[in-house]
Amino acid sequence: MKSKHDSGETSLSSREGKSVLFTKMHGLGNKYVFFNLLNNPLDNHDLSELARSVSDVNYGIGSDGMILICPSDKADFRMRIFNADGSEGKNCGNGLRCTAKYLYDNGYSESSQFTIETLGEIVEVEVELETNHKSTVRSVKVDMGEPKLQKADLPMEGDPFSSTINEPVIIENQEFHMTCLSMGNPHAILFVDDVKKFPLERWGPKIEHATLFPERVNVGIVHVLNEQEIDYRVWERGSGLTMACGTGACAAVVAAALNNRLKRELPITVHLPGGDLTILWDANNHVWKSGPAEYICHGELAIETCQTLFSR
């Protein structure tokens, strides 16, 4: 389907192989550089290196990572996400909302409901439109699927078929009580008295790289405010401190319910540094996430120069 932007302003194009067009978007301050590959492949580039270079604030655009919007033979569309360190992620809640908004706003989907394939799974999204402007997306609702609780799902050392709920774990002589699960991405959740005072900058990378997690892990800290509100901060695997993490917000709500700190089947407002998300763990064991997605800018990247400068 042809984009509404006939000028190609937000579609990938190449000029003698030297420049490509990009869109930068954010979900609650969790920012990504998007390349539209639906009609134009990005050939002959190391994608991990490209992600590192475009994410760099000095030599690139500056972001928490890179997202490629691609065709899919399993779903309506496909999303590939690369973290700022070049590693490829399985899923990204904020990235999914941005991708859904981009696809609908630019006319690639005429339906407000469609599916997006990720490395982790296929997810269903529903765009919610502005009341007085039916062609503009106000927020996006995403079915994030079922939480996966076994150690093998993360993965995590230990009995692969066991779960980790409020389990004491020693990291560099410090004991933490962790609840670990996967929402397409692996998360280790800690409950704290104050998310602002907890030294996440210190312990986030130590837990992320602990031998307990062979493929590393996202680290989230949670303070339950009341039966329908929590505070949440995150150290993201491969990106560090970010303003928001959609899969992490889902994991936080599931972990709180598993520890009897919240009730199932109630919409929970998750307060993140970048803003609020609404999370619901429903009776069918699916986790739903609703929240905004916004454009930051469109531009043209001198891709070869960017990579050359970053590699110096």
Catalytic amino acids? Answer: 92, 245
How many angstroms separate the CA atoms of 174 and 291, rounded? Answer: 35
The H helix count followed by the E strand count for the chain is: 5, 18
The residues near 166 (Cβ < 8 Å, ≥ 6 apart) are 177, 178, 179, 259
Peptide bond into 155 cis (omega under 30): yes
Answer positive or negative: Cα dihedral of 162, 166, 170, 172: positive
H helices within the chain, ranges in order?
A: 47-55, 93-105, 200-208, 246-258, 303-310
**Which amino acid makes up residue 49?**
E
DSSP letter (8 states) at residue 10:
T
Dihedral angle over CA of 91, 204, 216, 86, nearest 10: 60
**Which amino acid makes up residue 259?**
N
The residues near 110 (Cβ < 8 Å, ≥ 6 apart) are 1
Which among 169, 171, 170, 172 is positioned nearest to 180, based on CA atoms?
A: 169
Q: Quote the tokens at residue 95.
A: 């990235």
